[in-house]
Amino acid sequence: MAKEKIVLAYSGGLDTSAIIPWLKENYDCEVICVCGDVGQGKETDGLEEKALKTGASKLYIEDLTEEFITDAVYPCVKANAVYEGKYLIGTSMARPIIAKRLVEIAKKEGATAICHGATGKGNDQVRFELTIKALAPEMKIIAPWRLDTWKMQSREDEMQYLADHGIPFEAGHDNSYSRDRNLWHLSHEGLELEDPANEPNYEHILQMSVTPEKAPDQPEYVTLDFEKGIPVAVNGEKLNPVALLTKLNEIGGRNGVGITDICENRVVGMKSRGVYETPGGTIMYYAHRELEYLCSDKKTQAFNEVASNKFTELVYSGEWYTPLREALSAYFDKVNETVTGTVKLKLYKGNIIPAGSTSPYSLYNESIASFTTGELYNHKDADGFINLFGLSMKVRAMMMENNKNK
């Protein structure tokens, strides 16, 4: 009789390496590992050998980088999705894309369960599991860190477990940050960041960027071209989605742009402090907003803020595959139909400074906005407008005055 198959979301780190023999021991199963490559670079090197040595029957390394950008990043850019005013939701955006592929491979392999190594404290358990429930409600989910049969509580426990099972594993240094990388960003947690009173040791932390102090002493200009809210060219050069974001990361990184320190509210309710590097994404978001300011009418722009907050909350909480998120994306697709044009920005030591925007859909009209009276605006029209606009205030003031005199 064939063994049960379990698909494991695999990174090659200590946690998921220990989970492979643990699954085989506790479920008498075949473990199929899946690594979703969303632009984490060299982190996927040597993974197949490591997974097989640790007891997996096979490893899928799935290149999801372009899908991640087009299907997750771009909808978030259109929505200006920023969590709690700072975090450009890089990890949040990637998890549904990875989990979707986990489901697809689990169905292809005839697996009965999907396993992940997220802890019971973090956001990722929610994001992975909500996606699995939405796309494969019949699929069993195994979260070892939440089970009584998982006895390991530290790196040392996991190393000892692997050694006891005769599995060689080369341990990394335990004096490093907990990091999550994709093409959009790099997150850092742990060490001195665990105390919000401590200033981040940026010289030790940063990998995608330089500190603003080490950025060039001369500003660098960059232009972005957008079509319907989507960036299509940098400095006049049309690029595919992966190459475009890679280019922006290089430009932003060398100018110290997109470094964020935030103490955020996790889905499960606790505060978590981390540092995020999002050099290219920060430029992209900023340019998109500049073009919106030019092309969106007043009421649409105001409602965008409301819709953006809800959209961001859904993405952060792992509710990507929900009717509301899909409906909000349809809204943002519609309002971005006129967000087309070119934005020029000046980058200088961590700062982004607007340097001009143009669009065929610009709502700026010099004849109206200029201090010089134009043909489309009569100053006298403001008399009636102000009288009506302020009528309720005037009526209330009259009432208060009458009551005061009684």
Does residue 307 contact residue 283 with C-beta atoms inside 8 Å?
A: no
Q: Which tokens sit at 35? A: 């690594």
Active site residue 273: no
Confirm whether residue 187 is marked as ligand binding. yes
DSSP for residue 89? -
Give me Rg for the CA atoms of the chain: 26
Write out the DSSP string of 323-367.
HHHHHHHHHHHHHGGG--EEEEEEEETTEEEEEEEE-TT----HH
Confirm whether residue 14 is marked as ligand binding. yes
Amino acid identity for residue 2 in this structure: A
Does residue 97 contact residue 67 with C-beta atoms inside 8 Å?
A: yes
CA distance 258 to 249: 9
CA distance 51 to 115: 15
- Of the candidates 369, 365, 307, 363, the one whose C-alpha atom is nearest the C-alpha of residue 339 is 363
Give 140's strand partners. 113
- Among residues 37, 101, 124, 357, the one annotated as catalytic is 124
Confirm whether residue 15 is marked as ligand binding. yes
Active site residue 124: yes
Helices (H) and strands (E) in the chain, counts: 15, 14
Confirm whether residue 148 is marked as ligand binding. no
Confirm whether residue 403 is marked as ligand binding. no
Q: Which tokens sit at 135? A: 């796309």
Backbone angles phi, psi at 280, to 5 degrees: -70, -40
Strand order across the 259-265 sheet:
178-181, 186-189, 271-277, 259-265
User: Cα dist. 269→34, 123, 317, 397 in Å?
Assistant: 29, 10, 11, 46
Confirm whether residue 87 is marked as ligand binding. yes
Active site residue 15: yes
Confirm whether residue 281 is marked as ligand binding. no
Backbone angles phi, psi at 183, to 5 degrees: -65, -20
CA distance 402 to 141: 70
CA distance 108 to 139: 13
Confirm whether residue 11 is marked as ligand binding. yes
Confirm whether residue 362 is marked as ligand binding. no
Active site residue 383: no
Confirm whether residue 124 is marked as ligand binding. yes
Confirm whether residue 252 is marked as ligand binding. no
Q: How many residues does the chain have?
A: 406
- Among residues 45, 63, 174, 178, the one annotated as catalytic is 178
Backbone angles phi, psi at 145, to 5 degrees: -65, -15
CA distance 98 to 92: 11
- Among residues 15, 37, 180, 225, the one annotated as catalytic is 15
CA distance 283 to 132: 32
Residues tagged active-site = 15, 95, 124, 178
For the annotated binding site for ATP, the residues are: 9-17, 117
For the annotated binding site, the residues are: 9-17, 87, 92, 117, 119, 123-124, 127, 178, 187, 264, 276
For the annotated binding site for L-aspartate, the residues are: 119, 123-124
For the annotated binding site for L-citrulline, the residues are: 87, 92, 123, 127, 178, 187, 264, 276
